Structure 1
């Protein structure tokens, strides 16, 4: 209900008859009668019940009826309109209520108007195509209305900004702050939580999910359920895949002896661990020379350190996720997969380790590396005896269901470092081509 008063002020007599805080609730009830009118039909009778004494007395004075001890009153609106006009107080009861509390908005018409305005928002043909496609999905309108606080005009502005960003993507290693400054003159316009940033991230993620579903087998009917099980991604990772840098120096990817094309700049010293930041991976794409070559992936940095100490330059290509991979690790693994590498993964034999392994294998198509049930059982035989230390929150190993069952039965977690010897045997027997 709009509280802005119209230019015309209420007659002092009207203020005395129906104004003031004591009759505010009564006026609200009377206004609702007119808010429900659609303009085509007119109900000239207003039935009011459960009236307080002060409210009944006010209505009695307004209508010229005697005051009675009753809680209900039926008002003939046409007759009351005539009474107010003849007295020179107001042109009608509706006008009187508007003079006291501001314009009365027809709810049905306002709702219909709002629906029409939202329809024009979602069907705008000048938006980026990916944004238009996303707007047709079930969650899109709810998110957009929340970000725009239910205002279609605000939603239009937010969509225009999101569309402007999408038209610039992908970029090649441009920082998010610079992208925001270039487009909107404000380096923080695409920070986490900003409406335009939220919309862009939703569109990018929706597009990636569509691609993932297309890559699944046509007869696969569990794609939606599988999407729901995917770990929630941080905004930085989604931006990174579009070439946008966010905290580009945080958590660089640890590697050892990754082969590159002879025309590319060497990656540090052969045999020594090195780091690749998200900034390097996106701004200066590397020509990887890994086609049909095994590239090993471990979960823990200690494995890289041990491999460098024991094998040095003779170690096969090795990448470390350092736990759940962050943006730099994800981009590196994806680049290696696209370059044709045969990726092999090993991690901790515990529930978090299986969770990470599931994600890495799905991310880049890696295969298990000494990470099956028989490998776990051999590790148990060689590990020092200890108390059961695996909790009840089991994780299914998507590549070997028997592994999960075996781990649950023995109840022992085996750190990756505890099985370093057989891993080093593989790393030393595979020769990289530099």
Structure 2
């Protein structure tokens, strides 16, 4: 019997069910140790396993678990008609594939990936593609490879689509489905539930993180995974891609907007009518500057804008500031700029706030006295350092709001994460009392502040 026939016969012999767990265990030991070694333990062996192993090992097995060392298996194999075979050869023929160590498998897998990344580096010369691919090669960043860790053709196709998209990022705002149609031939080709879309978002996040390393105001949350539709939308918006530009809107009152040198008159008209304005992202992206209705004395002077968390509070304050005048006839210069955040940061809100800051705004924020309200305040303070003031958010204001809503342990943990120096004392004060309070409780104080400002009392 030649060697090939002997291997075939050995594979058939050890293919019996009674040997399966032993050989599988020996193969696992080899992968872990990069050699045939260690001990395989068979708990709760079947009668068939016990009989087959007693015949192979030529010894009586004690009751209970069976322990077989790799050395004992090799010695037993040598005493059979398969003795001319190497134990590794037998395991490989039984497995039907090459037996390699986990370390060697990882090395081969990475070499295959590196060859792919080097090939793609030559194909995609765009600086963004080069930066991302080089980081992947250097293992400075990571991507989720195919489920089995290999470089499957479908995965390569998705990666190529992501690279094409990166190399064709628009210079002007563009809707994501239109952009995806140009790149992929499919308006949904870069959706976040598609593999190509997931890779595209990973690349954009990496590129934005790289910008943050050299920018003047790095985003402290840049290393967090994208966890919401709003975060995905903001990342796309950063690269001039819009996912939803009509239903995503910001709400404001008392502001004038400009597209270049031209004023967008409907903003001023809404303020003149004493009306709030819901501005969709579609309109905000063409705005280049947002200023108060009465322009500052000098173009570089700062101006104040008042932000509230809740739409009900915004509406009540708007009632208060417009109640005692004929809104259509009153001078719009007296209007105090108000912005509503609707309990969360929509992408359109960020777009409006970014333009306000760029135009010279100082943001005065008032939110709920709860973990979510303080977290919103912290995001503002971190995003616009030196340009945010807290409005009626002191321990005295918290007490005036009559705290009564209990905070459970989960929300108290969120409160503990509020660590900005300006906010930390208030967060600790609320945590000690374990009660939340809300803006509605200090609505008269907020309205009185705006009335004083409108009458020229205060700044």
TM-score by length of 1: 0.71
Q: Is the aligned partner of 1:24 residue 2:27?
A: no
| CA 162–16 in structure 1, closer or farther in 2 if over 3 Å, else same | closer
Counterpart Cα distance in 2 of 1:98 and 1:403: 66
Name which of 87, 96, 100 aligns with 1:102: 96
Local SS of the residue matching 2:246: coil
* CA drift at 1:273: 0.9
Structure number with the higher strand fraction is: 2
Q: What are the ranges of 5 or more consecutive residues in structure 2 without an aligned counterpart? A: 43-48, 62-67, 293-298
Corresponding residue number in structure 1 for 2:422: 399
Corresponding residue number in structure 1 for 2:185: 185
For these two proteins, the number of residue pairs brought into alignment is: 392
1:254-304 alpha-carbon deviations (Å, 9 max, x no partner): 01122123613323433221111122223x344434653333322222344
User: 5 Å matches for 1:166-315?
Assistant: 166-170=166-170, 172-215=172-215, 234-261=231-258, 263-268=262-267, 269-271=269-271, 272-282=275-285, 284-289=286-291, 292-309=302-319, 310-311=321-322, 312=327, 313=332, 314-315=334-335
Preserved CA contact (<8 Å) 1:345 1:357? yes
- Tell which deviates more after alignment, 393-402 or 48-57: 48-57
1:86-133 alpha-carbon deviations (Å, 9 max, x no partner): xxxxxx877776666523343365443223223334555345034235
Local SS of the residue matching 2:162: helix
1:18-64 alpha-carbon deviations (Å, 9 max, x no partner): 444344345546767987998xx9x9x9999988332453x58xxxx
Counterpart Cα distance in 2 of 1:288 and 1:238: 22
* CA drift at 1:319: 1.7
Preserved CA contact (<8 Å) 1:278 1:331? yes
Q: What are the ranges of 5 or more consecutive residues in structure 1 without an aligned counterpart? A: 1-7, 61-66, 85-91, 218-222
- Tell which deviates more after alignment, 252-261 or 175-184: 175-184
Counterpart Cα distance in 2 of 1:75 and 1:101: 19
* CA drift at 1:330: 1.0
Corresponding residue number in structure 1 for 2:392: 371
Local SS of the residue matching 1:344: strand
Counterpart Cα distance in 1 of 2:224 and 2:24: 49
Name which of 115, 118, 125 aligns with 2:113: 118
* CA drift at 1:243: 1.8
Q: Is the aligned partner of 1:323 residue 2:343?
A: yes
| CA 231–203 in structure 1, closer or farther in 2 if over 3 Å, else same | closer
* CA drift at 1:328: 1.0
| CA 315–106 in structure 1, closer or farther in 2 if over 3 Å, else same | same
Preserved CA contact (<8 Å) 1:250 1:277? yes
* CA drift at 1:10: 9.4
Counterpart Cα distance in 2 of 1:326 and 1:104: 54
| CA 243–10 in structure 1, closer or farther in 2 if over 3 Å, else same | farther
| CA 16–175 in structure 1, closer or farther in 2 if over 3 Å, else same | closer
Counterpart Cα distance in 2 of 1:349 and 1:46: 61
1:144-167 alpha-carbon deviations (Å, 9 max, x no partner): 33x554113455444322211211
* CA drift at 1:324: 1.8
Measured on the aligned residues, the alpha-carbon RMSD in Å equals 4.5
Corresponding residue number in structure 2 for 1:140: 141
Counterpart Cα distance in 2 of 1:13 and 1:403: 78
Preserved CA contact (<8 Å) 1:180 1:188? yes
Counterpart Cα distance in 1 of 2:121 and 2:215: 29
Preserved CA contact (<8 Å) 1:131 1:163? no
Preserved CA contact (<8 Å) 1:248 1:279? yes
Local SS of the residue matching 1:288: strand
Corresponding residue number in structure 2 for 1:362: 382
Q: Is the aligned partner of 1:422 residue 2:438?
A: no
Preserved CA contact (<8 Å) 1:173 1:243? yes
